[in-house]
């Protein structure tokens, strides 16, 4: 599988200091304070200019991790002309986060338009927009979801009561609900991979006995558990068209900073004033 | 001879009612077990249409509660003496429907065991948190009012033998005698609490409307008219229910009874018409030029697959027939009762048409084709299991009502008012 190979390759490049970080990072849901400073990452040497764009982004990501969390601004840029509609990002995400039926973080919207013979197809991958003004956050009656200093909107599974108000409030349908179902139920055996834990928010989540995240709202979190360990979000690494870019928009030299200054950049439903952190190149 | 026939007819109806209740209870308990043992698996709502029948049932019951309460206290505040008699009954109906509402929404939670988080870590920026806090206050208020109102009757009942006496003593916490002063203080408190109750009921039910109306992402809900529409809807449905309860269950079918029922009928008629006017505004403004974000959704409500929910249940059975009965047979309490029952029961259609249509439209075109999954559909029809859970809530509500009606001095206190 393409995603598995690229993941392994990338993993092997993570320095030993990353491992040290991994061990020292505290378990439990990440609620990083703005005061948190260096993560101990050594970004190493910048990759050569002709290297795979993933290497540049990974280098920039680790560079950003040297800054305190409130000085990072994670954004995603998706080049719609490079997206081939293969859904590898959707599936990479499902595998990474062990997403059950009913839960999807990054579907790829497919649109057909025009009339024969002038027809076209467009693919729009739709992760969570990680809005600067997220409509899903203030509606939560129990403060179970919030925006981190680096702009990522997260959910505390252990606090969420599963009222699904946030799901109705998202203008992008980017939140879904975990019904506690399994793809292989109804077959002779439930596949073990469905019971493997996910590592969202830096914690091991076993989906068993209706425990969280079952019964919770769930959403894309830019794979924070990977990002905090110096890895790109899964969807960015599995994208075969290299159409998904990820990085720190607060770093003026980063690739994403360059891309979002292009004239063909746009965001979804800008008129709502949500100020998304996901940009599209058209 | 005539009384014998009436008695026979009465017991015939009671038999039918008992049968219906048993059916509801059996199906309901099955639904309850399904919910408790299997979570949300048997429900048809999904991740996109994420609120369904139970949320609709919740706003329906809570509307009945606020409506019954408001109507009784507004009448009281306005000094309409002839309705004073139904005060306790209205409070009782209001308390029961509130319990039914809370149960419905509790079943809807992903984590039922965490409901109390809303008290220990509330986000008062959220309309939902406000709503829960307000209706908790309202619940305590209604219970206190009910207890105060029933106390004199309970004291009398406490002297009786058997279950009735025991129940009364239990509810009085063993204090089976009250002084005149205590009674007078109780009456004073009733007035004060009634006065607090009106703004509380208005704000919490307006708050339920605002819970929907404040959601910017859903143009179908995002209208300033919603909180008002919720209030008129509550008054219309709660009042209609009250008319039906008094019409059919009041023990003495005398002239006073007739005057109370027909009086409520007239009030409900006025509110129903006003509610329809607001609804007309809601639909006509959004749809007039056949364009805009709500237009297609409303077309779906009116002429889509589930058109009958609007036209048959809401307009025909819930509005036209009751209005006809209230206008043409307004002096016949039984006809008014039938009209009230129809309007009250079918108001569920209005609630369903509030919750579901807003969610069946993808927020981004093409999302409906992007990922195939039974829980990621933009369509919804409640499953039988979901109905069964509602049956449980209804059966429980009827059971509590019956206990109060039979073994508590609800009607007697009302008669003595
Ligand atoms: S589903 Fe969870 S995160 Fe969403 S609003 Fe309800 S409690 Fe908050």
A10 pLDDT tier (thresholds 50, 70, 90): very low
The closest-lying atom of ligand 1 relative to the alpha carbon of residue A161 is: 7
Residue A87 in any domain: the answer is yes
Residues 6+ apart with CB under 8 A from B108: A163, B51, B54, B55, B58
Residues 6+ apart with CB under 8 A from A189: none
Which of B46, B48, B123 is the closest to A142 by Cβ?
Answer: B123
Residue B412 reports pLDDT greater than 90: no
The closest-lying atom of ligand 1 relative to the alpha carbon of residue B110 is: 1
Residue B8 in any domain: the answer is no
Q: Tell me the mean pLDDT in the region B395-417.
A: 84
Residue A167 in any domain: the answer is yes
Q: What is the pTM of this model?
A: 0.91
Place of tokens 């834990």: A197
B77 pLDDT tier (thresholds 50, 70, 90): low
Residue B267 in any domain: the answer is yes
The least confident of A41-55, A56-70, A103-117, B391-405 is A41-55
**When comparing pLDDT for B52 and A20, which is higher?**
B52
CA distance to partner chain B, nearest, from residue A234 (Å): 18
Q: Please answer whether residues A106 and A117 qualify as being in contact, where contact means their C-beta atoms are separated by less than 8 angstroms.
A: no
Ligand 1 within 6 A of CB of A159: no
Q: Tell me the mean pLDDT in the region A97-118.
A: 95
Number of domains in chain B: 1
Residue B390 reports pLDDT greater than 90: yes
Residue A15 in any domain: the answer is no
Residue B5 in any domain: the answer is no
Residue B314 in any domain: the answer is yes
Ligand 1 within 6 A of CB of A155: yes
Per-chain mean pLDDT for chain B:
91
Which of A142, A169, A173 is the closest to B118 by Cβ?
Answer: A142
Ligand 1 within 6 A of CB of A135: no
Residue A19 reports pLDDT greater than 50: no
Q: Tell me the mean pLDDT in the region B336-347.
A: 97
Structural domain boundaries enclosing A132: 53-281
What are the chain B neighbours of A142 within 8 Å (beta carbons)?
114, 117-118, 121-123, 129
Residue B10 in any domain: the answer is no
Number of domains in chain A: 1
Residue A229 in any domain: the answer is yes
**When comparing pLDDT for B126 and B70, which is higher?**
B126
Could you read off the pLDDT of A46-94 as tens digits, one per residue?
Answer: 999 899 999 999 999 999 999 999 999 999 999 999 999 999 999 999 9
**When comparing pLDDT for A99 and B2, which is higher?**
A99
DSSP symbols for B270-322? HHHHHHHHHHHHHHHHHHTTS-STTHHHHHHHHHSTTHHIIIIIIIIIIIIHH
> In percent, how much of chain B has pLDDT > 70?
95
The least confident of A136-145, B56-65, B75-84, B189-198 is B75-84
Per-chain mean pLDDT for chain A:
87
Residue B273 reports pLDDT greater than 60: yes
Q: What's the CATH code of the domain at A197?
A: 3.30.70.20
> Tokens for A240?
């075969």
CA distance to partner chain A, nearest, from residue B390 (Å): 18
Q: What's the CATH code of the domain at B272?
A: 1.20.1630.10
Q: Tell me the mean pLDDT in the region A100-113.
A: 94
A155 pLDDT tier (thresholds 50, 70, 90): very high
Residue A267 in any domain: the answer is yes
Ligand 1 within 6 A of CB of A146: no
Residue A17 reports pLDDT greater than 60: no
Residue B302 in any domain: the answer is yes
| CA B383 to each of CA B44, B59, B60, B138, B415: distance values in angstroms, whole numbers, following the listed order | 5, 19, 18, 32, 43
Mutate to test the pocket of ligand 1, among A162, A214, A215, A219 (most ligand atoms within 8 A of CB): A162
Residue B368 in any domain: the answer is yes
Residue B412 in any domain: the answer is no
Residue A34 in any domain: the answer is no
Structural domain boundaries enclosing B226: 16-407
Residue A260 in any domain: the answer is yes
Residue A80 in any domain: the answer is yes
């Amino acid at each position: 599988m393409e995603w598995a190979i690229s993941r392994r390759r990338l993993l092997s490049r993570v320095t030993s200091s990353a491992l040290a970080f991994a061990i020292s990072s505290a378990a439990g849901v990440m609620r990083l304070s703005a005061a948190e400073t260096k993560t101990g990452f050594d970004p190493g040497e910048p990759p050569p200019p002709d290297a795979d764009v993933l290497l540049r982004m990974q280098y920039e990501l680790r560079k950003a991790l040297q800054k305190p969390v409130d000085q990072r601004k994670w954004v995603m840029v998706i080049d719609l002309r490079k997206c081939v509609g293969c859904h590898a990002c959707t599936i990479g995400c499902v595998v990474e986060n062990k997403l059950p039926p009913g839960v999807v973080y990054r579907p790829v919207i497919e649109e057909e338009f025009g009339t024969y013979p002038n027809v076209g197809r467009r693919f729009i991958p739709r992760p969570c927009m990680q809005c600067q003004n997220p409509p899903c956050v203030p509606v939560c009656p129990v403060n179970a979801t919030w925006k981190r200093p680096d702009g990522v909107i997260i959910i505390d599974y252990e606090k969420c009561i599963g009222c699904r108000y946030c799901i109705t409030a998202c203008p992008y349908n980017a939140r879904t609900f975990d019904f506690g179902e399994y793809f292989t139920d109804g077959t002779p055996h439930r596949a073990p991979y469905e019971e493997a834990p996910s590592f969202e928010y830096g914690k091991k989540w076993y989906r068993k006995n209706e425990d969280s995240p079952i019964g919770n709202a769930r959403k894309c979190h830019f794979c924070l558990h990977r990002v905090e360990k110096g890895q790109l979000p899964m969807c960015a690494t599995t994208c075969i068209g290299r159409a998904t870019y990820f990085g720190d928009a607060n770093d003026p030299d980063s690739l994403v900073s360059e891309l979002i200054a292009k004239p063909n950049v746009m965001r979804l439903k800008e008129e709502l004033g949500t100020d998304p952190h996901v940009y599209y190149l058209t | 001879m005539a009384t014998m026939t009436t008695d026979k007819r009465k017991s015939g109806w009671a038999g039918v009612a008992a049968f219906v209740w048993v059916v509801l209870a059996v199906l309901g308990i099955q639904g309850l077990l399904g919910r408790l043992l299997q979570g949300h698996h048997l429900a048809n709502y999904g991740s996109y249409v994420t609120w369904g029948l139970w949320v609709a049932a919740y706003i329906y019951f809570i509307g009945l509660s606020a409506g019954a309460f408001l109507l009784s206290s507004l009448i009281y505040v306005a000094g309409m003496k002839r309705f004073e008699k139904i005060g306790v009954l209205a409070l009782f109906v209001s308390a029961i429907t509130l319990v039914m509402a809370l149960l419905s929404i509790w079943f809807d939670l992903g984590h039922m065991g965490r409901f109390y988080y809303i008290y220990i870590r509330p986000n008062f920026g959220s309309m939902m948190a406000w709503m829960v806090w307000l209706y908790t206050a309202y619940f305590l208020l209604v219970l206190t009012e009910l207890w105060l109102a029933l106390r004199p009757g309970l004291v009398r009942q406490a002297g009786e033998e058997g279950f009735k006496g025991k129940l009364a003593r239990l509810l009085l916490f063993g204090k089976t005698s009250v002084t005149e002063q205590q009674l007078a203080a109780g009456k004073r408190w009733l007035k004060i609490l009634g006065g607090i109750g009106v703004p509380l009921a208005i704000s919490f039910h307006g708050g339920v409307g605002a819970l929907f109306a404040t959601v910017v992402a859903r143009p179908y809900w995002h209208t300033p008219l919603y909180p008002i529409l919720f209030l008129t809807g509550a008054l219309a449905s709660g009042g209609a229910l009250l008319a039906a309860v008094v019409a059919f269950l009041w023990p003495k079918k005398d002239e006073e009874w007739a005057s109370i029922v027909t009086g409520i009928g007239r009030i409900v008629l006025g509110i129903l018409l006003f509610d329809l006017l607001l609804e007309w505004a809601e639909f006509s403004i959004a749809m007039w030029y056949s364009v805009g974000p709500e237009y297609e959704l409303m077309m779906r409500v009116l002429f889509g697959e589930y058109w009958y929910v609007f036209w048959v249940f809401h307009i025909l059975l819930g509005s036209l027939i009751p209005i006809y009965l209230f206008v043409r047979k307004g002096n016949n309490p039984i006809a008014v009762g039938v009209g009230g029952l129809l309007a009250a029961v079918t108001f569920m259609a209005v609630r369903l048409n509030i919750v579901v249509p807003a969610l069946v439209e993808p927020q981004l075109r093409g999302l409906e084709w992007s990922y195939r999954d039974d829980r990621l559909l933009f369509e919804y029809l409640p499953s039988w299991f979901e109905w069964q859970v509602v049956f449980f809530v209804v059966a429980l509500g009827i059971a509590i009502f019956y206990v109060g009606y039979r073994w508590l001095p609800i009607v007697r206190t009302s008669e003595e008012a």
